[in-house]
Copies of this chain bind each other. A is one copy, B any other.
Amino acid sequence: MAQMFIFPPESGELPRWREAFPDARLLGPQQARAQVGEGDKVWVMSRLEGWRELVMTLSQRGAVVSVLSQSPTYAEALSALDAGARGYAHALSPPELLRQMEIVISHQGIWVWPELMKQVIGGAFRALGGAASLHSEVLEGLTERERAVALVVAEGLSNKEVARQLAITERTVKAHLGAIFRKLGIRDRMQLILKLSHQESEVP
């Protein structure tokens, strides 16, 4: 555990990265899927084809994955983080920064190229504002609390996640959901999502 790897397609190595981690091992994507396990620190180039899926499988397996990009973008950063990566930076970042990054991500942190970070957070914040301001006549017959549950469920969260979000028990979430289903005449959360997302697209 705690070794390091990188997966360039077949391109040359990254000098600054190598300077930061002289003892790291190099692997190809195939070897990675075979050898990487819990706690390994992995660095993946976004140039690599299928990097996103690779990141997903490796991080699900417990590896600590960082993505390096030749041309970092907002969208790619989000994509990497969503895939389970814990770090995202420019491929030519100086060694000190890469080492710092390693410290952060091995302590359960997230590290993103700072200017991107502001955009990521800002984007998420605005996205939430949009989601929270969602009103529809569908929800009119519901109580305050039921509306809250319905909206969060419509984001795709599980009962457990909704419970945490609203600081109540999973049992209570179920209670509200039961009432919602009964009042709206539907049978499960799938139909709730459909009802709400159809409503949503009629925004003037």
| Residues in chain A within 8 A of chain B (CB atoms) | 52-53, 56, 71-75, 78-79, 81-83, 100-101, 103-105, 107-112, 114-115, 117, 119-128, 130-134, 155-157, 161, 164-167, 182, 185, 188-191, 193-194, 197-198, 200-201
Contact = CB atoms under 8 A, between A and B. Distances in A.
B75 A133 contact: yes
Interface of A is mostly: helix
A124 B126 CA distance: 9
A119 B121 CA distance: 12
A127 to B, nearest CB: 3
Contacts of A131: 52, 79, 82, 123, 127
A193 B156 CA distance: 9
A81 B121 contact: yes
A126 B156 contact: yes
Contact of A75 (B56, B83, B117, B132): B132
Nearest to A197: B197
A204 to B, nearest CB: 13
A165 B79 CA distance: 14
Contact of A123 (B72, B127, B190, B197): B127
B104 A108 contact: yes
A117 B201 CA distance: 27
A121 B127 CA distance: 11
A49 to B, nearest CB: 13
**Pairs A-B, 10 closest by C-beta atoms:** A104-B109, A127-B127, A124-B124, A109-B109, A82-B125, A201-B201, A197-B197, A71-B167, A110-B110, A156-B190
Of A112, A190, A197, the most chain B CB neighbours within 10 A belong to A190
Given A73-B167, A189-B190, A193-B193, 10 more contacts: A52-B131, A71-B167, A73-B164, A79-B134, A82-B185, A103-B104, A105-B109, A110-B117, A115-B161, A123-B131
